[in-house]
C-alpha cells in the first residue's frame, strides 16, 4: 500500500519516522525482554543520523524495526511516508530492495562471495528485474565503484579485497537504487581507522552531494561525530 497523495509532501521532507515503537521478546519460562520501549523520532530527508548507546540498549533492534527487517510489537514505522506495518511480506521485501540500502557490521556478511564486486553492486537492480547485461546497469555499477575508489576492480571477487575495500563495495551497493534511507549497523566496527574514515567519508558524501539519508548505529564517538544528529539509546528508549 502506497502513501496517499496527501502525504507526499510530508514524505519528501521526512525520510523515516517512528511513532511509539516497541519490540518485546517473550522469554522462555515467562516474562519478556523489552528491546525497544516506545521509541518515537523523525529523521529528515538528506540528513546523517547516528544512533549510539551502551551494548544491549536496543540500537540494533531500532535499526531492524526501522528498516523493515523486524516487525515491531506495537507502534508505527514509516519510510518516506509508507507505513511498513501495512505492507504484506512481499511488499515489504520489495520496499527493502528498492527503497532501502543496507551496510552491515561485518564486511564478510555484506557481499555475495560467488559474484564479482561489480555484480554485487548492481544486485539490488537485478533482483528488481533489471537486465545485468544492460549497458546502463553496467555503467551505474562502474560509476559507483569509481566513486568508492575501486575503478577497474569490478571483475574481482570479494575475497580478493581487504575488509575496508569490501565495506566500500557495500556502500556502493547501498547507493545503487538511490534509496530513501541507507541503514548501517556498526559499518566501521571491523575496520582499521584509515578504512573506517574512508567508509564514513563515503556515507557523509552521499548525504552532502546527493541528499541521501543515512541512519548509522555506532559505538565509535569519532563516527558519531560525523553525523548531523546523534540519537542516544538507553534501556530501549531514546534519551
Binding site for Mg ion (CB under 5 A): 59-60
C-alpha distances (whole Å) from 174 to each of 42, 86, 155 are 21, 24, 19
Which CB sits closer to ligand ADP, 38 or 44?
38
Nearest distance, CB of residue 155 and ligand ADP, angstroms: 36
CA–CA dist 47, 228 (Å, integer): 7
Alpha helices (H) along the chain: 8-13, 59-66, 89-99, 107-110, 117-127, 135-147, 163-175, 193-210, 221-224
| Burial class of residue 130 in the structure, from the number of CB atoms within 10 Å of its CB (0-12 exposed, 13-18 middle, 19+ buried) | middle
Instruction: Write down the least CB distance from residue 199 to Mg ion, Å.
Output: 18
Q: Is 222 helix (H, G, I), strand (E, B) or coil?
A: helix
Contact 209, 48 (CB under 8 A): no
- Closest distance between Mg ion and the C-beta of residue 69, in Å? 13
Q: How far is the CB of 168 from ligand ADP (least distance, A)?
A: 24
**Looking at beta carbons only, is 31 or 113 nearer to ligand ADP?**
31
Closer Cβ to ligand ADP, 11 or 233, answer by number: 233
Q: Is 239 in the site for ligand ADP (CB under 6 A)?
A: no
Interactions with ligand ADP, residue window 23-82 (CB under 6 A): 25, 33, 35, 53, 55-61
Which residue lies nearer to ligand ADP by CB, 33 or 109? 33
In the complex, the residues that contact ligand ADP under the rule CB under 6 A are 25, 33, 35, 53, 55-61
Amino acid at each position: 500500500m502506497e502513501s496517499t497523495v496527501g502525504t507526499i509532501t510530508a514524505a519528501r521532507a521526512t525520510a523515516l519516522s517512528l511513532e511509539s515503537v516497541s519490540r518485546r521478546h517473550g522469554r522462555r519460562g515467562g516474562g519478556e525482554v523489552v528491546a525497544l520501549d516506545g521509541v518515537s523520532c523523525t529523521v529528515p530527508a538528506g540528513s546523517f543520523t547516528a544512533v549510539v548507546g551502551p551494548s544491549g540498549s536496543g540500537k540494533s533492534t531500532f535499526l531492524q524495526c526501522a528498516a523493515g527487517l523486524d516487525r515491531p510489537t506495537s507502534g508505527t514505522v514509516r519510510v518516506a511516508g509508507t507505513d511498513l506495518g501495512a505492507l504484506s511480506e512481499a511488499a515489504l521485501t520489495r520496499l527493502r530492495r528498492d527503497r532501502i540500502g543496507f551496510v552491515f557490521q561485518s564486511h564478510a556478511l555484506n557481499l555475495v562471495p560467488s559474484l564479482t564486486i561489480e555484480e554485487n553492486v548492481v544486485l539490488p537492480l537485478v533482483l528488481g528485474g533489471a537486465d545485468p547485461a544492460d549497458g546502463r546497469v553496467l555503467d551505474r555499477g562502474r560509476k559507483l565503484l569509481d566513486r568508492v575508489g575501486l575503478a577497474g576492480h569490478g571483475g574481482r571477487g570479494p575475497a580478493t579485497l581487504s575488509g575496508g575495500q569490501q565495506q566500500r563495495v557495500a556502500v556502493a551497493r547501498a547507493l545503487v537504487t538511490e534509496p530513501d534511507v541507507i541503514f548501517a549497523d556498526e559499518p566501521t566496527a571491523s575496520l582499521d581507522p584509515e578504512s573506517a574514515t574512508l567508509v564514513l567519508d563515503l556515507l557523509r558524501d552521499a548525504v552532502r552531494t546527493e541528499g541521501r539519508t543515512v541512519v548509522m548505529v555506532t559505538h565509535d564517538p569519532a563516527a558519531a561525530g560525523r553525523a548531523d544528529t546523534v540519537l542516544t539509546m538507553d534501556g530501549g528508549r531514546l534519551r
